Structure 1
Amino acid sequence: MTAPPAAHTVRTHKTLRTDRQGPVLSIELNTPDEGNAVTGTMLDELLAVLDAQDGDVRVVVLSGAGDDFCLGGDRSEFAEQLAHDPTGGGIRASGAKARRVCEALSANPAVTIARVQGKAIGAGLALALACDLRVGADTATFRLPELALGLPTAWGGLLPRLLNEVGAARVRELVLTCRSFDAEEARQLSILQSVVPEGDLDAAVRAWAAPVVRRSPTALRITKHLFNAYTSATRLADITALDAELMASTLAAHEYTTGKAARRTGHLF
């Protein structure tokens, strides 16, 4: 007697597309014309989807539609937020949501997998790094441009995750130079655990997901808790709760002194 087929549900949101097939939930950033730039709406939808995740989900796959995984934060939205509230209140609110999204990925009871193609910049890199497993196309590129834009590396708890995964000396060089690096270097830095041709990304994700969905949900959940607990124990001080405040204060100060922030367009980071 054959087992019944796994339930398959596809939903399209304003900025996301979700595909639930049995124990695997796929979340696709779905604004390819904007490079899947992170907006307040996208953060709200990511939080809603992750908060609604049920206990039968064993694997969560995060991907991006189109040519790029994610080009970072939406600069035009930040400019609008500053124009509405020059003290940075809107940016603080977005920053707090960004931290909650990244925590929802890293602390997720399911195994989270980032599927990366094209560019993963700033906030896009932060979303990928919040996942347990990360596979990238051999043509993927990465960058942390915040300092070049006059910003601190303070989005979604990115910096302590980088320090923990990569190491202080290498992270310092990437943050201070703001240079791009390719998929092979990302693998050497443990930002990616696997690099494959772009056409093989889905197969690589399935190869990781297949054994995970057979694991005991209780053992899987406890193992995730243990990983997160031991990782947190290696951080002498985690001040990521201040990320939103640091970003808002820096942007508000820059707007006050230069008057340029509200006139920018494009992507921030």
Structure 2
Amino acid sequence: MIEDFKSLVVRTEGPVLTVRLNSPETGNALSEAVLDELLAVLGAIPHQPGIRVVILSGAGADFCLGADRREFAESLAADPTGAGVRVVGTKARQVCDALATTEAVTVARLHGGVIGAGIGLALFCDLRAGADNCRFRLPEAALGVPPAWGGVLPRLMHEAGAAKVRELILTADTFDAATARRMSILHQVVPEAELDAAVARWIKPLVRRSPTALRTAKLMMNAYGNAHRLADATLFDAELLSSALSAGHRARRD
């Protein structure tokens, strides 16, 4: 089955749902429209019990170059209070939560640039395979905004290690696929020509697993992974992002 979306290419083949970000002219930037379509796709999975695996990929040269900064600028020009940015920030968190909690196993297929919010989107997938041409960057500090997109910061620190994440956020340095593999941001690194085969090797056994076993395993891992968090400060991410961008917008006008 093929679904019609403006910013995504979505195909269902048996138990596998493939979702491809399809705005290569923007580097697959995560605009509000893209987030809306992702929410629609992920929100429909509970009504499709046959879906066992979701593959998330990107069209063109890059997986995802981050949030749509041009859209943020236009939103702030229309409303300097940042209300529009808060809406987008809330949707970003909803998308990431949906990726993490959906009963299907989610697989990120990464290549080219994986920047900012693109890292966040990938990080909430269960398994992540990357081409050896991947380049990663957390540019928020260099852009004058906090790393407050989708609730990614605690997830990143938990998966990759607080010390290294601190360095990468404060320096905004670019890092390669091998570094991402050492940090567990990637589970596998292969030549780009072998990326589909690497993903397929994961999918083949996954679709044979008991749906109940997979669902229970994901629930347990999510529960144990969050057990150390007494309070979820990422609930403030949308507010932090909008406040920082709004303050920066006012400063540039003055």
TM-score with structure 2 length normalisation? 0.97
Q: Distance in 2 between matches of 1:151 and 1:65?
A: 27
Task: Report the Cα offset of residue 182 of structure 1.
Answer: 0.2
- Is the contact made by 1:160 and 1:238 (CA closer than 8 Å) also made in structure 2? no
- Is the contact made by 1:32 and 1:65 (CA closer than 8 Å) also made in structure 2? yes
- Which of 154, 158, 168 is the matching residue for 1:164? 158
Higher helix share: 2
Gaps of 5+ in 2: none
Aligned residue for 2:9, secondary structure, equals strand
- Which of 33, 37, 41 is the matching residue for 2:29? 37
Task: Report the Cα offset of residue 55 of structure 1.
Answer: 1.5
Pair 1:94-2:88 in alignment: yes
2:142 paired residue number: 148
- Is the contact made by 1:29 and 1:65 (CA closer than 8 Å) also made in structure 2? yes
Task: Report the Cα offset of residue 237 of structure 1.
Answer: 3.4
Return the letter of the residue paired with 2:204. Answer: A
Q: Distance in 2 between matches of 1:150 and 1:185?
A: 25
Return the letter of the residue paired with 2:36. Answer: D
- Which of 102, 105, 109 is the matching residue for 1:108? 102
Q: Distance in 2 between matches of 1:177 and 1:93?
A: 28
Return the letter of the residue paired with 2:101. Answer: A
Deviation per residue, 1:3-46 (Å, 9 max, x gap): xxxxxx12231100001001100000000111101100000000
Task: Report the Cα offset of residue 236 of structure 1.
Answer: 4.2
Aligned residue for 1:125, secondary structure, equals helix
Pair 1:77-2:91 in alignment: no
Deviation per residue, 1:152-176 (Å, 9 max, x gap): 0000011011111011111100100
Task: Report the Cα offset of residue 258 of structure 1.
Answer: 1.7
Pair 1:50-2:50 in alignment: no
How many residues are aligned here?
252
Gaps of 5+ in 1: 1-8, 261-269
Aligned residue for 1:25, secondary structure, equals strand
Deviation per residue, 1:47-104 (Å, 9 max, x gap): 0011111121110000000110001111110011111111000000000000000010
Q: Distance in 2 between matches of 1:252 and 1:85?
A: 9
CA RMSD of aligned residues (A): 1.0
2:213 paired residue number: 219
Aligned residue for 2:147, secondary structure, equals coil
2:8 paired residue number: 16
Aligned residue for 2:214, secondary structure, equals helix
Pair 1:243-2:251 in alignment: no
Q: Distance in 2 between matches of 1:179 and 1:237?
A: 30
Aligned residue for 2:158, secondary structure, equals helix
Return the letter of the residue paired with 1:18. Answer: V
Q: Distance in 1 between matches of 2:74 and 2:112?
A: 28
List 4+ stretches of structure 1 deviating above 4 A.
none
2:199 paired residue number: 205
